[in-house]
A and B are shown apart, each in its own frame.
Chain A
């Protein structure tokens, strides 16, 4: 079939396979993110208390709603792998595109490393519960190898598996919610005893925004599948917006359950890995404990799976445009996947997963994600100014422009302040890294970029040109 690419001296084009629908887009976005409901968000409780974490859940939820609205509109017009990288290339320019591409690759590769590290440690914890002491490293590596193999073999199976395990993980949260008898809030839950005032005031609430990102980090990854979706103009906005709604529900349920079963000092404790799992253990039901253990493990695996997919697409797109060596822009002739990019990024994720502490890895991921969100308002303003409504066909037009872009920018700045409060050195080191990378691109790499090939969408000349 697709091996027959060279016919009588003529080279047939091999593109990524267009086989995905809205369900796969949902599975990609929610799959990457849902792990953030099972772990990570709880460190925000340590900064701002339970109510502080709830406020950050709402505020960051608003930030990501703006991200989803903006992304859905722009991506519904740019059917290209690389997501925001391809958007930046069309609306702003090569240097911004290079930086956005790097933000994407680092955000997803670091998150992938954190996910497989957590998956290995969860298996170790599960074995420990049964009275067996085993190392976590082999299970981290086997998760990474299995997911890389799945991604290598094809996107349809990869995201179908992601749909199944993501849906199962989401269902485990719903089952736990039913298990705490929400129809009788005082029967099992102890909100009236456990909830306190803000322990560190509003400064603590501001600091907790950093960890509020966990509830939703990665939903923007849906647009990396743009080139593999059958109808990107329709499927991407539908998959992204339904994914965001799913996450808002999951975040609300998670906070409600955990804050009603565990004291805030324990939830926000540095050594607390999986608050939903612990909430199930507190209930004393073996069934709920097993279901939440499986849900937590599935969420970590689904996230790593989606991250391998997205990091490889971003790297592949940059290679194809010669922002990186063009060697990375290869597509597997049989499986139609960016196989060189997938293989190249796996050892990097493995090294970070095995040797770097989880908090450091995730901070790299959050910072890269945050830089990406800060680019989006500028992208949106330029996009609407250059191609106003009606000038090109859009699958989705977000309402109230420029309000979402302005709100997004303000919330990004507030979150940068929050990150600076806890991880100032990492933030500055990360900024220095991107400045050095930008200098390398401008002075050593840009000469290889084919400038005439950058603009690939069949759009009219932008207004003002």
Chain B
């Protein structure tokens, strides 16, 4: 490589990047450094992966409940969905979702709106605006007094943790189980609501309602169509795999276990919660781990629909600076670190579950 005048160095990272990024979670402009551009991409990737994991668990649970349902039509619909998703490449799914659905949305003038109000000056506002530019939602935005309120939130979190630990202690001392987790959530809500009540008139949040302009809307929470199609496409895709992993877990539990639980007078739901799920978890966690490892990697397909994730920003920096080798090594290291953290967490959880089993 030295022969071609290419000496690897990482100095370019501190140079000004000269690129513009559509979606950033941190301050970024075209004069910011390449390293900062990379951080923007990393944050986008991490945030979308975590959201996708959470939502695909929820959606996957719903799917697997439909799949194992005794209702013929529901279980066959779920099965058809899972089979279709599992046999189509993710790239096609994303492209289809983006080009054939989100880009075919009406323009901002004819956007799909929820609760549209036209004020006297001719300005129109709506709680939800869906157009080919993306989705605008009315959203509670932070105001100045949030600076004070955040201490209330921190206090609420500490109190909730304390309540949870106390219930654990109570359980260890007396052997009687209390719903500690529920109590913790309850105390968190109570404390933060008390804080809100106390700060009446000077609320830490204000609901901002998007206003429709000529070519664009402003205000409220803005979700671009790229973000939304990557997110929803990945959730649709991952949940099918999650459902299959969960199904393998649930069907791995012998039927005799459920029958025994029913014979002991457990209701169907209670048998599911106390007998089936603890056993199904053990089987389902290793495949779920590899599915979640896949999610962070699959977000890199955002490059195909123009979402500025880690990989697409890397590609842009390579084009700008020509530092292919360094950038690829860097991005590989970042992906490896992310996979490592995910698998460490899942292994920890796996071990915890296995210990409960004994």
Do the two chains belong together in a single complex? no
Question: B residues within 8 Å of A by Cβ?
Answer: none
Question: A residues within 8 Å of B by Cβ?
Answer: none
